[in-house]
Structure 1
Amino acid sequence: MKYTLYRCDFRALFCFLLLVHNGHSEEINDTDKQAQNTSPTKAPLGETCVTNKQLRGRCVKPNECMETEDFDDILAKPNAYRSPYVCETSKQCCPRKSIIVPKVPELSTLEGCGWSYSDNPGLRVFSDHAGFREYPWMIAVLRKSTSSENFEINDYVAGGTLIHPSVVMTAAHRILKQKANEVKCRAGEWDIKSTNEVFDHQERNVKNITIHETFSFKVAHNNIALLILEQPFDLTNSPHIGIACLGQHMPPVGTTCISMGWHNHVVGNTNPVTLKKVQLPIYDKQKCQTELSKLHHLRHWQIHDSIMCAGGMEGEDTCTGDGGSPIVCEIQSEPELRYAVFGIHAFRIRCGIKDSLPGLNTDVTYEYDWIKSTFTGEGFNTSTFEY
């Protein structure tokens, strides 16, 4: 998430600035058929396909195929029957004799919320690319119309945080215009252009969207929503999916925290394929108020208690499309790498450029009691995000 040019969440921020100027604020059957003179269609998972060498095969992940030449296959002979199917872009057509079952590694997990499973847990050298399982609570909120196992960034509605097997936390402004039956949540995602990860992602439909009752575009306060899922995520055999902890007391100003996401953050560059991350220092709220007041449209706007400021560093910030993603800070008292969520990415002004301003985020510590109350009303146990 490196930034060199001016970008922001334009659609939301434009409305936000416009209304502030007027005294308000607003802000994804195994039957062979003869070849036909029609365009190939995507093969169902595991469906019969034909390799480039005209061998009968099945659509599998790349790591499930040990490609070999087998010219004795019936489909290598003249006048052989062939399937009209082609595989999804994330899979390849593998000859049946070359299909293998890859060995799944035994990955350990820790009890409780907020654990990060880095590839090099003893070597904390920061990179802008997140490792697989590094942030197992990260959720991609997608349009339900997204049918492919891979998703385009246009299918991406918001980032989210898994705080219970059946509950995802996100920013209200990113989900406000969505209906529950229009979106779904994906957990365990890392590379959005491939299904070749060691463990598969999971998807769950949204049953209900609960937005904070006092949230409004007019003031941008209490910018938080909880997505209640139709079915819980399966965490039993999923070491790459985990629950996030929620912070109750904001760390000191200057504490370096981290946010993550898949959206495009550099003008002119393509969107990232794998999950990326960025460091964000907690910004003094009074200083943040002073800096924002220098802008003509924000000179009369007051930072609400439900807002935290973070970031504002040149060349490094969250930006376009990151809304709803968590901002996590390390729990210092733990011997292993463990995080709690203290913010939800909301709005950015002049992100990642010289003289950039800190971002305005939802303060999770302020919303903590509302989250617990909502959980109680839904019959959920709040111990999932407590530490």
Structure 2
Amino acid sequence: MELKLQFGFILIVVQNIWMYNAQEVFGYCTTPGEQSGSCIYLKECDYLFELVQMQPISTSNRVLLQNSQCGYRNGQVLICCANSRRLPQSRPVWGNQGQPPAPSPSPTTPRPKPFNSKLLPQAPNCGDNFGDRIVGGVTTRKREFPWLALIEYTKPGNVIGHNCGGSLINNRYVITAAHCVNAIPRDWRLTGVRLGEWDTSTNPDCTKEKNGRDDCNDPYVDNPVIEKIVHPDYSASSRDQLNDIALLRLRDPVTYSDFISPVCLPIQAKQRDEIFLGRKMVVAGWGRTETNATAQFKLKAEIEAVTLAECNRVYNSQRRIVTSSQICAGGVEGIDSCRGDSGGPLVLEENYDGYANYYLTGIVSYGPTQCGLKDFPGVYTRVAAYLDFIERNVRP
């Protein structure tokens, strides 16, 4: 009898392990509580599936479910399920047979860890913009988006090119896409960053005032890069381009001015939980990617977020999965992140005690080869999902 019970227990454990391994995983993701997770069918994530079965669903649980959504496949919702809670609990077949198992406590919306870095500026000392708010694929004014950076590559024959974008986040670091660091031609070297640029054909950049006088920016600043920090979980060969984020440490401390200043990061709790639906964001840059042509002037375009479910319906045809660590935005014909650089910023304006400042919501990651296609949004790395990575890697 003892042997039979032991064999039954072993069989149950093996069945549970098989069930765990049999779950279809559609990519890796970060939960709203910033735990590592897997993108799986909702019904396979026990602790979140229980929330759906509770009626009525509380507001906090509804928000948790919405923020946990990471895709849509075969008519079913995909959810970002914490890896530490995916393995079904095996139950022994002896002991306490007549007693029902104690109910597990209902999960609540996890609170994000406070952001305590003193090395990164906070509003109103960041995200200051000098220009009007009329956007939609047009040329910026000279002083708009002073955090925008051009990433410099040294190519064979010591030819210098600027083929990706980035954003200044403090006086020593620029944030960009990991693919701008790790997915470049083998004979290219990422060597520097240019700040304070507007018109790539002139230096300094000047425009005529109504009185006929020249109004000029300061000359741009070229700053060598001495360290490249790519997210450790980024894979250049991955179709989904998860964790497409990197930091560039500059050799020389940056002096802030009206033409060069940092963007804010989404460090407030409401910003970290923002899903952006119905809100206007701005993507800006020089219209460059790592492979195509350039624009002479800094450009900007206003775009709106798209739900992950809608985005995945589009990208499933490309065998890609978009997760909660990414943002989908755009999909309006003729206006897209082709207006900005790969690695460049997607920003949102926020009011802070009477000040209007921009914070960095996303980093240009990828989109359709023919940009500006109707109903085909671009994909951006969600910066709020990587604050721990940023805080862990910046230093004085």
Q: How high is the sequence identity, in percent, across the aligned residues?
A: 25
**TM-score of the superposed pair, with normalisation by structure 2:** 0.58
Say yes or no: does 1:308 pair with 2:308. Answer: no
Say yes or no: does 1:280 pair with 2:280. Answer: no
Alignment CA distance shift 1:116-1:321 (3 Å): closer
2:279 to 242, 247, 255: 255
Match of 2:344 in 1: 325
Alignment CA distance shift 1:196-1:231 (3 Å): closer
Secondary structure (helix, strand or coil) at the match of 2:297 reads: coil
Matches within 5 A, 1:294-305: 295=317, 297-298=318-319, 301-305=320-324
Say yes or no: does 1:115 pair with 2:128. Answer: yes
Match of 2:171 in 1: 165
Q: Is the 8 A contact 2:301 2:339 kept in 1?
A: no
Match of 2:221 in 1: 202
Aligned residue identity for 1:256: K
Aligned residue identity for 2:344: S
Match of 1:125 in 2: 134
Match of 1:135 in 2: 145
Matches within 5 A, 1:13-32: none
Say yes or no: does 1:189 pair with 2:192. Answer: no
Aligned residue identity for 1:201: Y
Q: Is the 8 A contact 2:204 2:220 kept in 1?
A: no
Determine the C-alpha separation between the residues in 2 that align with 1:115 and 1:283. 26
Structure having the higher strand fraction is 2
Alignment CA distance shift 1:146-1:132 (3 Å): farther
**Alpha-carbon deviation of 1:360?**
1.2
Say yes or no: does 1:227 pair with 2:248. Answer: yes
Secondary structure (helix, strand or coil) at the match of 2:146 reads: coil
Match of 1:360 in 2: 379
Could you say what the CA RMSD is over the residues aligned between the two structures, in angstroms? 3.1
Q: Is the 8 A contact 1:312 1:352 kept in 2?
A: no
Match of 2:363 in 1: 344
Secondary structure (helix, strand or coil) at the match of 1:369 reads: helix
Match of 2:259 in 1: 240
Name the structure, 1 or 2, with higher relative contact order (CA <8 Å, separation 6+).
1
**TM-score of the superposed pair, with normalisation by structure 1:** 0.59
Q: Is the 8 A contact 2:300 2:340 kept in 1?
A: no
Structure having the higher helix fraction is 2
Determine the C-alpha separation between the residues in 2 that align with 1:115 and 1:320. 21
Q: Is the 8 A contact 1:141 1:158 kept in 2?
A: yes
Aligned residue identity for 1:212: H
**Alpha-carbon deviation of 1:190?**
0.6
**Alpha-carbon deviation of 1:332?**
3.5
Determine the C-alpha separation between the residues in 2 that align with 1:205 and 1:126. 32
Number of residues paired by the alignment? 254
Gaps of 5+ in 1: 1-22, 26-109, 381-387
Determine the C-alpha separation between the residues in 1 that align with 2:224 and 2:264. 23
Gaps of 5+ in 2: 1-25, 29-122, 206-215, 267-271
**Alpha-carbon deviation of 1:338?**
1.3
**Alpha-carbon deviation of 1:280?**
1.6
Matches within 5 A, 1:144-155: 144=154, 155=161
Match of 1:52 in 2: none
Determine the C-alpha separation between the residues in 2 that align with 1:368 and 1:24. 21
Determine the C-alpha separation between the residues in 2 that align with 1:188 and 1:243. 11
Determine the C-alpha separation between the residues in 1 that align with 2:151 and 2:330. 24
Secondary structure (helix, strand or coil) at the match of 1:366 reads: helix
Q: Is the 8 A contact 2:130 2:144 kept in 1?
A: yes
**Alpha-carbon deviation of 1:174?**
1.3
**Alpha-carbon deviation of 1:254?**
2.4
Alignment CA distance shift 1:182-1:302 (3 Å): closer
Question: Deviations 1:128-183 (Å, cap 9, x if unpaired)?
Answer: 111111100000011246999xxx9x811310000011100000011115699741
Determine the C-alpha separation between the residues in 1 that align with 2:220 and 2:125. 21
**Alpha-carbon deviation of 1:188?**
0.4
